[in-house]
Structure 1
């Protein structure tokens, strides 16, 4: 029943968006999509999956969960497809934590998954905060509405709260403290920069494919806001909310709402295509091999 509600919500939001805009324009932009840019987005998302799996492998080691890159890569692919196909966007993550529990225990496996996801979200929010800070100082950019600044302020407050919370002695505080330590590690910073850049580029490429050029000055602000809309749990794979955010924000760069919807649909389709190897990986029997012990300091 819950799955049906979320699917119905995504469908209703998409229907409302198409009613609000001109569906013919959206269809024409999708029909004339440039395959070269779509392929670039697909390649970017494919590399992105490998890098995120590598990041998770190192995060898991910090929680004394030793998995090979091959296993992390396989589990990440399966989790991505499940997250897109099932409501809520976390079913796949729950599954990968459950499947690697034998490498340690379920609690630490779940913590490794949660920490990796949290590091990813903090990274993209940090980029967005930096982008909006630059927008304040550099004139001539998009005229951002007040609610965007409120969102950035809320992010800064949340980060300060996380730092204060991490000073506690509870299990949750220790988890947050280790996550923040991981976030400051040079390897994690490098991975975060590359992963975030690939994530931004993949949406940019889908927008280019559907005849919209997002100005470079707005990439660090516009795209993260659109992608963050996919985190709304009342959807299937972010469908509807992603397109709605794009439709609302694209006019700020001189594009039509329909162009935003087309870019969002193209991005969702490429994401699904990029995750399809998970079907083959799920059918392939798993083989586990002993992983050399790695200390937490080696990970950092």
Structure 2
């Protein structure tokens, strides 16, 4: 029933957008898309996957789950394929955690996956927060509607205050406080150590820039030219819509956000729709190597426990 609901939401949103924002115009834009810009978007998303796999490898090693770079890339691609083809959008990540539980247990393996995904979202949020403040204060920036300015300002403030709130919540009594304390200590383990924070920040900003650039390239392919400020301020909001787990892989919600937000940068609503559809299709193509790596890679992805675990 939940799968059917997600599919219905995706199709319903796309159908509504087709009727309200000139769907035929979006189709014409897609049909005339520039292949060179789409190829650049594909390259950016491929680089994003490679950087994400390296970030996962680094994060997992700090929690006692060690594997090689080739394994990290192969398993990350496989997780992306599952995320794109099955409802929920997180089943592939859960699979990564389960397959690599052998060395340190499912909890540590799951924390590594969760922290890695969180780092990517945090980098996208940081870019959006900086761009929102800049475009709100600098003359000639985006003319944010009053209906959006207040909620987005609250979103930025809440995001900045989240680490402090998380740290304070570790003082709660009972099992909740103990669980949050364990998570906080695990997060400290991931980030502490010489050069680790800089490496995590570099990899996370790299993946975020690749993701935003890929969307901008797809938009350019269908005739929507976005400024750097528009990409940094608007595209993160479009991508955040994909996180809402009521649609199949974010389809429909992402397109609705693009059709609503890109006109703030001078694009048409149909151009926003075409840009988002192009991004979704290119992203689906970018994860296809995961199928090849799954069939040609080594079997038995679960890493066995080490006979002599290192401290």
CA distance in 1, matches of 2:46, 2:157: 33
Determine the structure 2 residue equivalent to 1:151.
Answer: 155
TM-superposed CA distance for 1:35, in Å, is 0.4
State the SS of the aligned residue for 1:185.
helix
Pairing partner for 1:245 from 230, 249, 257: 257
Q: Which runs of 5+ in 1 are unaligned?
A: none
Structure 1 segment 192-231 matched on structure 2, within 5 A: 192-231=204-243
TM-superposed CA distance for 1:283, in Å, is 1.6
State the SS of the aligned residue for 1:102.
coil
State the SS of the aligned residue for 2:263.
helix
Determine the structure 2 residue equivalent to 1:5.
Answer: 5
CA distance in 2, matches of 1:258, 1:159: 38
CA distance in 1, matches of 2:131, 2:189: 24
Structure 1 segment 36-51 matched on structure 2, within 5 A: 36-51=36-51
Deviations 1:91-130 (Å, cap 9, x if unpaired)?
Answer: 1001111111123211111111111111111111111111
Determine the structure 1 residue equivalent to 2:17.
Answer: 17
The answer (yes or no) to whether the contact 1:167–1:177 under 8 Å persists in 2 is no
Pairing partner for 1:179 from 172, 187, 191: 187
The answer (yes or no) to whether the contact 1:119–1:179 under 8 Å persists in 2 is no
TM-superposed CA distance for 1:265, in Å, is 0.3
Q: CA RMSD in A?
A: 2.3
Pairing partner for 1:268 from 270, 280, 291: 280
State the SS of the aligned residue for 2:186.
helix
The answer (yes or no) to whether the contact 1:74–1:278 under 8 Å persists in 2 is yes
Determine the structure 2 residue equivalent to 1:119.
Answer: 119
The answer (yes or no) to whether the contact 1:207–1:213 under 8 Å persists in 2 is yes
TM-superposed CA distance for 1:167, in Å, is 6.5
TM-superposed CA distance for 1:252, in Å, is 0.3
Determine the structure 2 residue equivalent to 1:97.
Answer: 97
Structure 1 length as normaliser, TM-score? 0.92
- Number of positions where the alignment pairs a residue of Structure 1 with one of Structure 2: 296
CA distance in 1, matches of 2:278, 2:106: 36
TM-superposed CA distance for 1:158, in Å, is 2.6
TM-superposed CA distance for 1:178, in Å, is 3.3
Determine the structure 1 residue equivalent to 2:246.
Answer: 234
CA distance in 2, matches of 1:261, 1:24: 11
Determine the structure 2 residue equivalent to 1:59.
Answer: 59
CA distance in 1, matches of 2:274, 2:201: 33
CA distance in 2, matches of 1:8, 1:141: 37
Structure 2 length as normaliser, TM-score? 0.89
Q: Which runs of 5+ in 2 are unaligned?
A: none
Deviations 1:236-287 (Å, cap 9, x if unpaired)?
Answer: 1110011010001011011111111100000000000000111112223426
CA distance in 2, matches of 1:124, 1:185: 17
- Residue 170 in 1 paired to residue 178 in 2? yes
Determine the structure 1 residue equivalent to 2:130.
Answer: 130
Runs of 4+ aligned residues of structure 1 deviating over 4 Å after TM superposition are 166-169, 287-291, 293-296
TM-superposed CA distance for 1:83, in Å, is 0.9
Deviations 1:45-64 (Å, cap 9, x if unpaired)?
Answer: 11110110000001001111
CA distance in 1, matches of 2:26, 2:5: 26
